[in-house]
Amino acid sequence: MPSKTVIVGSSVGLHARPAAIIAEEAEKLDSEVTINGVNASSSLMIMTLGAGPGTSVEVAGDDAAAVDTIAALVEKDLDAE
């Protein structure tokens, strides 16, 4: 199972807006991706992680490209957009 450890880039961490953006993108993928073991297509589950800015998280899934897609979003400051 491919996985990647990344640092949360959003200035508020994986809170409502970043979690919603990540979950929306994860729903489009053909494979399941998790962040620290929770389903990345659920914004509520992502928020329960309580991952603040600068926190290290593990993104994992069956497909390396899907993992890379979600990992890139986790690393990005999604509140700056």
Q: Which of 9, 10, 14, 15 is catalytic?
A: 15
What pLDDT score was predicted for residue 5? Answer: 98
Quick count: other Cβ atoms within 10 Å of Cβ 50?
A: 10
Active site includes 15? yes
pTM, full prediction: 0.93
Task: Write out the DSSP string of 9-26.
Answer: -STT-S-HHHHHHHHHHH
Note the pLDDT of residue 1. 86
DSSP sequence for 5-73: EEE--STT-S-HHHHHHHHHHHHHSSS-EEETTEETT-HHHHHHT---TT-EEEEEES-HHHHHHHHHH
pLDDT digit string (tens) for 9-67?
999 999 999 999 999 999 999 999 999 999 999 999 999 999 999 999 999 999 999 99
Which pLDDT value is given to residue 81? 59
Q: Which domains does the chain have, with CATH numbers?
A: 3-75 (3.30.1340.10)
